[in-house]
Amino acid sequence: MFTKFGAGVVAGIAIGYGAAVYLHRQSASSSSAGVVPDSTAKLNTLRTKNSAFVFIKPHANTPAVQSLVQKVLASKKITILSQGELTAAEIDSGKLIDQHYYAIASKATLLKPSELKVPIAEFEKFFGKSWNDALSEGSVYNAIDACKYLEIDSNGLDSAWAQAKNAKKLVKFGGGFYCGLIDTIPNKKPIYVFNGFFMSMRSKFVAPGTSIHFYVVEWESSELPWSDFRGKVLGPTDPAEAPADSLRGQILAKWQELGLESVPNTGDNGVHASASPFEGLAERSNWLKVPIEKDSFGARLVAAGVPPATIAEWSVDPQVKGKSLFDTLEDLDADECIAKAVELLKS
């Protein structure tokens, strides 16, 4: 009923169009979460199903958790179209987790300080240092380069970041945008670091020997609204607040039986799932390298008048009409999501 990939195989999806078959068993009755049918007319007659990207986080990726996830999805009439593994090495080299958390990671690993839109007046007021001087002196780093300069690992930077926070040498410029003065590393000059906390988050996904197990899934919105998929099937971010029969609730209750090494918490909560059909598209594009037009939800957006270039821009959660795009589309079912995206484009 679904396609399964072993560890490392998913990397090949990026090689060419043919690999897009990861999404579906092609048939005359193929659902809308799969590869785009040849006929646009056929595409328009298909009913839009909800489709999401789900993965088990590295700390919980055990055979028992995989079995639990499949059992729970099946019980809720959620179809698994494909599943597979992505190794830490693939996640690291492809910067997949960085793209996943783009709003945070763009300041920590993907962009250099000179490329960031730093509120100069706020920087200079808080640190008492000219931004231009700090740049010219080479004393401003993103988190990944800070680790290299300071000769410390992610845990070392996390500790130094905590010290900067306690010393009130940390400033927030906006959502997911922080800068801290790291001046506690022996024999290293003080430096200004952006989003130093991210390296600890990242390390959990790129630690040697670890992996995520992913699922591409779909279901009828008439039987399960997206809000219930997240709230009741997945469960809230904090597993302690999750329904007992939700995935996160069950992983918390049975963590030892399921083979986890420690009690799940808000960060290590077992499973991730897309927050909307649009985020599902963005995540399939990032993690599995599926072209927008070859993903059926992406194709429907394009057919509705949203250009592929706009979809790509929106996939990193920009501010659209003064609000996070992801927040605007959160928990909407597929057809509502498409309608809202068209509305945002036209307004």
Domain locations along the chain: 3-95+206-346, 113-203
Of 36-50, 105-119, 160-174, 308-322, minimum mean pLDDT range: 36-50
* pLDDT one-digit tens code per residue, 149-190: 999 999 999 999 999 999 999 999 988 899 999 999 999 999
What is the structure's pLDDT at 23? 38
Residues 6+ apart with CB under 8 A from 132: none
Instruction: For residue 46, name the pLDDT band (cuts at 50, 70, 90).
Output: low
Dihedral, CA of residue 313, residue 277, residue 215 and residue 260, to nearest 10 = 90
Dihedral, CA of residue 286, residue 289, residue 294 and residue 298, to nearest 10 = 0
Q: Which residue type, as a one-letter code, is found at position 84?
A: G
**Whole-structure pTM over 0.85, yes or no?**
no
Instruction: For residue 257, name the pLDDT band (cuts at 50, 70, 90).
Output: very high
What is the structure's pLDDT at 265? 95
The Cβ-side half-sphere exposure at 40, using a 13 Å CA radius, reads: 7
278 alpha carbon, distance to own chain's centre: 12
Residues 6+ apart with CB under 8 A from 136: none
More confident: 198 or 37 = 198
Q: What is the per-residue burial (b if ≥16 Cβ within 10 Å, else e) of 51-68?
A: bbbbbbbbbbbbeebbeb
Choices 3.40.50.300, 3.30.930.10, 3.30.70.141, 3.20.20.70: CATH for 3-95+206-346: 3.30.70.141
Taking the C-alpha atoms of residue 210 and residue 57, their distance in angstroms, rounded to an integer, is 9
The C-alpha angle 72, 78, 84, rounded to 5 degrees, equals 80
Instruction: Map 63-86 to HEC letters.
Output: HHHHHHHHHHHHHCCCEEEEEEEE
* pLDDT one-digit tens code per residue, 68-99: 999 999 999 999 999 999 999 999 999 999 99
